[in-house]
Structure 1
Amino acid sequence: MAAAVQKASLLPGLVTMRQADSISPNEEVLDQRSAKAGYRPDIEGLRAVAVVAVVLFHAGVPGVGGGFVGVDVFFVISGFLITGLLWREVSTTGAVGLRRFYGARARRLLPASATVGIVTAICAVVLSPPLQVRTIIGDGIASALYVSNYRFAMQGVDYFGGQIPPSPYQHYWSLGVEEQFYLIWPALIIGTAWFIRGVRRFTKVRATTSSPRPYLMVLALVAVLSFALSLLDTYLVPAVAFFSLPTRAWQLAAGGLVALTAGLWRRLPPRVAAIIGWVGLGLILLACTQLSATTPYPGTAALLPVLGAVLLIGAGSAAPAQGCGRVLAVSPMRAIGRISYSWYLWHWPVLLFAALLVGHPLGLIGRLATVLVSGGLAVLTLRFIENPLRFAAPIRRSAIGSLALGAVATAVAVGVGVALLIVVPSPVGRGPAAAALKITVEPVASGAAMDTYEAAVQLGFAQVQTAVAASAGLKAVPSNLDPSLTRAEGEQKALFLNGCMRTFIEVGHPECAAGDTASTSTVALIGDSNAAMWNPGFQQIATERHWRLEMLARAGCPLLDVPTINFTSHREYFECNDWRDQIVARLRTEHPKLIVLSVWRRYGGVLGSDDRYRFPAGFTPYDPAWIDSMARLVQLLRGTGAKVLVLGPIPDPQSVPSDCLSRHLDDATFCSPPRSMAVKEPGIVAETVATKASGGQYANITELFCAAERCPVIVGNSLVYFDRNHLTSEYVRILAPVVGALADRALISG
């Protein structure tokens, strides 16, 4: 989950309605007491600004690269309205009517979100790649239970999460934050009131729950602690910082502080208040236009929209009908505000499903068309679902009835998800069973001439090339595909087996020996996850040849001295630099006979045709910086006294093959890219020259994957890739004899 991935759906549960019936962007007032706070048309218009910014951001409209800050604005609005309501109630009655409070929330939010969630699940079954459907439905169930923000946070820190297509439920994360806020905030207010009464009872000091000062102190403490945690997590685990309530609470608290200091804001002279309001709106618009998906967020960047919302809402307390408040209160703005919740719910799945429906990414005109379609659906939802249930007298008068309505809506949404999980079949190959590929290359006897080693390599390549060529035109996915489409995803976990591939946050490197661990002939397999994927094959080779195999790999760390980005934290990967030095020092001490280097070749570039995450590092694969760095690394490794073998890149299948095949079970060639797209021949030539000039050997392994025109993703009955960047362990084991021949040749080379 890189920044672009996380910000692909960022707006919270937006809702606008008459504020006499509302206490937050997505809820109603509990009773008539809240109406005394007064109708704020400027806030309703501010909702329109935020929702338009986010919708246009998702539509990829130029100039709105920071439109995702609408989430921050709505959190501030929610904090302002909710805190004001709760404090007014507790200060006048000494308590909070929780059933009434939660009933209003349930009546307002849950029917609409459940309706859109159910429609989204059904559309996902029809339109999404079958292999993704179960994951999407899981997202839907988590969204119906309002815990999807933590599900998406975990996907964001997953090493392979960046390859998961954006979920049509991803925008529900913000509703999760809001619902969790609704659970915690009343307890915070009630707890403060209890504390005040306790002070009065035990100290006999005059203290009343009507003074805002204790609540100000509590909210200020929450804001400080949450902001500090947000800054830390933005640096270390930005997905958690982005999606979690603890790192977003300071924005809600900021709105609460405005509510508790409303009396001070009202003392502002109207002209001063108008100026402050314009400044606040300007800050929000500045954030919308100047921030981007690559901005570390929330971090300090979130101060811009939060401060803007605070100033605008606070100034509106003094002069809501002056300055920008007058602009925000015009009828079109309020009309957009009224449909903002439903528009938000619809716009993201409509945008994603439209692209799936037409079969290709949408252009700007197409994306803008989805904006209009989702806006129309929002009007219908407001007219036929939101308003009828929100204002139905029997339900409105009954807190229990409102809670029951919310419970039924949630139960139906969850039930539909569970039912779909049961009835939707998993995709399986339905073509004739294919023969398993078996490669036979006998190890060369010690002392043989170089020609014998060359012959062994050529024999292995020829056998694989014959099978690859035979599979290039494969249509139906074999019924005995190994691993099956559903098991391919499980291969990810094997890369981290026993900690031999270090994660982004782990330090040092454990003893990761395999094969004949007592042998004095050590072979070191080093690099990133592309090195780790070869481990099953090298373990097989090491066992046969009585080598001691050391695997030294780190996620996202190519070992080259190029400025690499840690994609889970979106900052320079300092840990990679430290680990590189440790590994080189270790190799100098252990003196392996052979070092095999394998790295991913798309650092600094964009991964995936959907452009979902990046490694922006100031270089591109195979450019002079990359080639020079590889030459220096080979020289450094040769300095340990070892022979060095650099494995060339695996072809780029241009998609996640298992997902693609699940949609094209009768035409596997659709998922097998042309060789010209999958292989960067000039880059391989440049790496070959640089490696040999530095004293190493280079193995161009393209022929193990590609025929003359096409690179099939199934060879024999074997699935070649488990994602876009890694080979399945099954195919790696099949290739083991060929790779063993390459290693043998490297060991006896001059």
Structure 2
Amino acid sequence: MFRRRLGMVSTRSRGNETGGKVQHHNVFRRDVHGLRAVAVLAVVLFHAGVPGVGGGFVGVDVFFVISGFVITGLLWREASATGTIGLRRFYGARARRLLPTAAVVAVVTMIASAILLSPLQVRSVGMDGIASALYLNNYVLIGAGVNYFGKHDLVSPSPFQHCWSLGVEEQFYLVWPLLIVGIAWVVRRVRRVGAKADATVSVRPFAIVLAVVAVLSFGSSVVLTYVIPPVAFYSLPTRAWQLALGGMVALTASRWRRLPFPWAVLTGVTGLLMIGWAATRFDAATHYPGVAAAMPALGAALIIGAGGAAPTRGVGLVLGSPRLRRIGDLSYSWYLWHWPVLVLAPVVIGHPLGLTARLAAVLLSAGLAALTLRLVENPLRFAPRIRRSPWASLTLGGASSAVAVCVCAAVLVQTPDPVGRGPATASMVVTDTPIPPGSDVAAFDAAVRDVFGQVQAAVAASLRTTAVPSNLNPPLTDQFAQQLAIAGHGCLVVLPFDDVQPDCTVGDLTSSTSIALVGDSRAAMLDPAFQRIATQRHWRLQMMAKAGCSITDLPVASEFNGVAELFDRCPQWRSQVMARLAAAPPDLIVVSSARAYDANGAHTMVPGLHMYDHAWLDSLTRLVRALRATGARVLVLGPTPDPPAPVPQCLSAHLDDALACAPTRRASGKDASGMAAESTATGAGGGQYADLTALFCASERCPVIVGNTMVYFDSGHLTHEYSELLAPAMGALVERALAGN
């Protein structure tokens, strides 16, 4: 990605844009080389948590523009002169330059991770390492829904996470030459001119196509930033506009060179100020990339363009300084090394790094980069026998990636399953006695207190257990099976664009007592408990749930969040559910939902969430009132805790101290005043409210293991096993709700 070659820019002078003799001259663009240094410094300082560089992640955007500028110029000049591109030579040069260095860093990182990290983390890192070696890591992150700005308090992030940008670059290198060749072929066919050079000498067709790519890509990036943020952040299609922007600067280089000197200096200064403003003013709360990404991308384009007229004066004088050029030499290796060192150093030391230690880690990674440049990058890059043969270059690059893949795969195979180190522990046992029909409300209240008291006792006892039980149920490696279980055999609507709620009715279909469980994935995770109690009590149970959709009608105050709602089809699904409930009202509607929705109808991955705010409370009242209008009783379940990290990964890293993964009540979202407000809002709509805190938390902590049962399989969804253990509690709540207010 961040290649030393980017500083060497071959440009051409033309008599005019559409014809005339082509003249070649090579100019070493020190300003472009220095701009690479600025970009890598921004990224490294951001990852090191240096105050004042909260937007340093924009350095990657700058790199994309630089790559688009250099590669497009290189390809277009060859295509315009010869009518085609030497693809073997092009791909060979990229392979020789990039793949061996990346493979060396990947192998060292994987071996270090196998030594330092827990088995479950090693497995995850191994998969990331394989994806990174194949330059597909960006799409793995998309599939996992990884938030680039997510916090990592208890579980280390993947040391390969930063390789998403390398994936974008490599995919760009694969596609872009074919695009340029395709444009050249179309131009020749349209003009039907015999001489290839004359057929493709005009820059205009190339510029038009790149402009179209840029517009479409930028539009999709802006929309998807609000609809599916990981896709917007990590994918090539939503980043292509930055590469195309750099390409358009390359195609219009002759026009940039005609800028008067004062205007060129002003343009360059403006571009640098734009990058600096973004790097210091943006932060994790910025909707990114979206419209905001235009600031650093346009800044980089202005600097590169202005440098064509004044490469050694103004901003060019600063960027072309020897120190920045030396950092530019290290930028590719430094980028590769800095993140693994920052991720793994706290594991070596045994505690999080302070600012001084993080800066020391950054300097250590710079030293590793210097060694890699001296021992790997330059020797292979400039080896005469390899440079002369595209096939040798391709073979070297392919073999390097294959070695990295094999090492990661070997570590995966050899990594054992993580097993608890504590003594075997008995499972929680909860008993209940059904209350005879016709009993007064006090009897049902007493039954709820009794069952909740049993669970609370087990939860409190779990806080005295530190080591993970050796008979933990489910195993730490059972996450995939848990994800399948929560899907409820197709009952949970998962796909964003799907609004069809399947008919999922279980229990005694002829029963006179019917229950509907409604909500999002937090409702689906309780389905095992409700299914068990429905079978025992001979109730008719229907589940209706859609992942990521609030059952409440939160107002959509943002146009872009309105687009997200339309894409997710939450309103359509919600209307369908409400229509079904109105057409065939059950005796009781149980509502369970995440509180991860703000007043704009957005999920927590979008900054600005205010839990228990007035918009949520008002929408809750409206929902309960609408459900009550069907003639059914309504029970709203309070929130369940949200651990700060995926529980299996956290426990795998803390087998001797499970309490390290147990959040406090407040940190887990169990806000007493917020739940009191929810109870009031529910009552205002005519419904009943159940505080579930006692089922998960004791005193000020919420353990993630109760008895020998793991409570969560990720960062908040209950395991199938723990959900089933809560069946008596859910049954008591349902019977109490059916008994009336």
Classify the TM-score, shorter chain. 0.7 to 0.9
Out of 232, 237, 251, the residue aligned to residue 246 of structure 1 is 237
Identify the residue that residue 512 of structure 1 maps to in structure 2. Answer: 504
Out of 400, 411, 418, the residue aligned to residue 427 of structure 1 is 418
8 A Cα contact 1:514 1:548, kept in partner: yes
Q: Partner amino acid for 1:587?
A: L
Map 1:260-271; keep pairs closer than 5 Å: 260-271=251-262
TM-score of the superposed pair, with normalisation by structure 1? 0.87
Identify the residue that residue 526 of structure 1 maps to in structure 2. Answer: 518
The 2-side partners of 1:17 and 1:213 are apart by 26
| Change beyond 3 A, Cα 1:260–1:671 | closer
The 2-side partners of 1:211 and 1:684 are apart by 67
- Deviates further, 483-492 or 472-481: 472-481
8 A Cα contact 1:528 1:598, kept in partner: yes
Identify the residue that residue 697 of structure 1 maps to in structure 2. Answer: 688
**Deviation, structure 1 residue 200:** 5.4
Identify the residue that residue 403 of structure 2 maps to in structure 1. Answer: 412
Out of 715, 718, 722, the residue aligned to residue 731 of structure 1 is 722
- Deviates further, 282-291 or 77-86: 282-291
Map 1:179-328; keep pairs closer than 5 Å: 179-199=170-190, 201=192, 207-328=198-319
Identify the residue that residue 16 of structure 2 maps to in structure 1. Answer: none
**Deviation, structure 1 residue 416:** 0.5
Show CA shifts across 1:99-126 (max 9, x none).
3222221121112111111122123223
8 A Cα contact 1:650 1:701, kept in partner: yes
| Change beyond 3 A, Cα 1:148–1:692 | same
8 A Cα contact 2:142 2:234, kept in partner: yes
The 1-side partners of 2:305 and 2:92 are apart by 29
Q: Partner amino acid for 1:52?
A: L
Identify the residue that residue 133 of structure 1 maps to in structure 2. Answer: 122
**Deviation, structure 1 residue 149:** 1.5
**Deviation, structure 1 residue 524:** 1.6
Specify the SS of the correspondent of 1:550: strand
Map 1:675-714; keep pairs closer than 5 Å: 679-688=670-679, 690-692=681-683, 695-708=686-699, 710-714=701-705
8 A Cα contact 1:565 1:572, kept in partner: no
**Deviation, structure 1 residue 653:** 4.2
Identify the residue that residue 167 of structure 2 maps to in structure 1. Answer: 176
8 A Cα contact 1:564 1:615, kept in partner: no
Identify the residue that residue 636 of structure 2 maps to in structure 1. Answer: 646
Show CA shifts across 1:693-731 (max 9, x none).
654333333333344565432223221221231211111
Out of 79, 96, 118, the residue aligned to residue 85 of structure 2 is 96
Identify the residue that residue 548 of structure 2 maps to in structure 1. Answer: 556
Q: Where does the alignment leave 5 or more consecutive residues of structure 1 unmatched?
A: 1-12, 24-32, 606-611
8 A Cα contact 1:86 1:189, kept in partner: yes
8 A Cα contact 2:188 2:196, kept in partner: no
The 2-side partners of 1:22 and 1:204 are apart by 23
Q: Partner amino acid for 1:79?
A: G
Matched, 1:47 2:36: yes
Identify the residue that residue 4 of structure 1 maps to in structure 2. Answer: none
8 A Cα contact 2:499 2:570, kept in partner: no
Specify the SS of the correspondent of 1:217: helix
**Deviation, structure 1 residue 491:** 1.3
**Deviation, structure 1 residue 675:** 6.0
| Change beyond 3 A, Cα 1:218–1:597 | closer
8 A Cα contact 1:21 1:35, kept in partner: no
Map 1:620-639; keep pairs closer than 5 Å: 620-621=611-612, 626-627=616-617, 630-639=620-629
Identify the residue that residue 343 of structure 1 maps to in structure 2. Answer: 334
Matched, 1:547 2:539: yes
| Change beyond 3 A, Cα 1:317–1:282 | same
Q: Partner amino acid for 1:104?
A: A
Specify the SS of the correspondent of 1:595: strand
Out of 568, 588, 592, the residue aligned to residue 598 of structure 1 is 592
- Deviates further, 481-490 or 34-43: 34-43
The 1-side partners of 2:681 and 2:571 are apart by 22
- Deviates further, 483-492 or 646-655: 646-655
Q: Partner amino acid for 2:544?
A: L
Q: Partner amino acid for 1:111?
A: P
The 2-side partners of 1:472 and 1:740 are apart by 26
8 A Cα contact 1:42 1:320, kept in partner: yes
Matched, 1:588 2:582: yes
The 2-side partners of 1:56 and 1:370 are apart by 11
- Number of residue-to-residue matches in the alignment: 719
**Deviation, structure 1 residue 39:** 0.5
Q: Partner amino acid for 2:114?
A: V
| Change beyond 3 A, Cα 1:604–1:123 | farther
The 2-side partners of 1:505 and 1:713 are apart by 33
Identify the residue that residue 392 of structure 1 maps to in structure 2. Answer: 383
Specify the SS of the correspondent of 2:516: strand
Q: Partner amino acid for 1:374?
A: S
- Deviates further, 191-200 or 234-243: 191-200
Out of 481, 486, 489, the residue aligned to residue 477 of structure 2 is 486
The 2-side partners of 1:189 and 1:628 are apart by 55
8 A Cα contact 2:520 2:592, kept in partner: yes
Specify the SS of the correspondent of 1:509: coil
**Deviation, structure 1 residue 585:** 4.7
The 1-side partners of 2:357 and 2:542 are apart by 52
| Change beyond 3 A, Cα 1:35–1:104 | farther
Q: Partner amino acid for 1:194?
A: W
The 2-side partners of 1:58 and 1:206 are apart by 47
- Deviates further, 332-341 or 360-369: 360-369
Identify the residue that residue 85 of structure 1 maps to in structure 2. Answer: 74
Identify the residue that residue 17 of structure 2 maps to in structure 1. Answer: none
- Deviates further, 449-458 or 106-115: 449-458
- Deviates further, 633-642 or 43-52: 633-642
Q: Partner amino acid for 2:414?
A: V
8 A Cα contact 1:200 1:207, kept in partner: no
The 2-side partners of 1:144 and 1:588 are apart by 54
The 1-side partners of 2:220 and 2:564 are apart by 20
Identify the residue that residue 4 of structure 2 maps to in structure 1. Answer: 16
- Deviates further, 166-175 or 187-196: 187-196
8 A Cα contact 2:285 2:608, kept in partner: no
Matched, 1:105 2:99: no
| Change beyond 3 A, Cα 1:571–1:127 | farther
- The percentage of aligned residue pairs carrying the same residue is 56
- Deviates further, 268-277 or 110-119: 268-277
The 2-side partners of 1:691 and 1:718 are apart by 32
Matched, 1:374 2:362: no
| Change beyond 3 A, Cα 1:411–1:729 | same
Q: Where does the alignment leave 5 or more consecutive residues of structure 2 unmatched?
A: 12-21
Q: Partner amino acid for 1:660?
A: C
The 2-side partners of 1:136 and 1:117 are apart by 11
| Change beyond 3 A, Cα 1:290–1:652 | closer
Specify the SS of the correspondent of 1:447: coil
Identify the residue that residue 18 of structure 2 maps to in structure 1. Answer: none
**Deviation, structure 1 residue 557:** 3.7
Matched, 1:664 2:658: no
The 2-side partners of 1:22 and 1:268 are apart by 19
Q: Partner amino acid for 1:181?
A: F
Show CA shifts across 1:425-461 (max 9, x none).
1212344433333333243332334444344334433
Q: Partner amino acid for 1:591?
A: P
TM-score of the superposed pair, with normalisation by structure 2? 0.88
Map 1:46-85; keep pairs closer than 5 Å: 46-85=35-74
Q: Partner amino acid for 2:2?
A: L
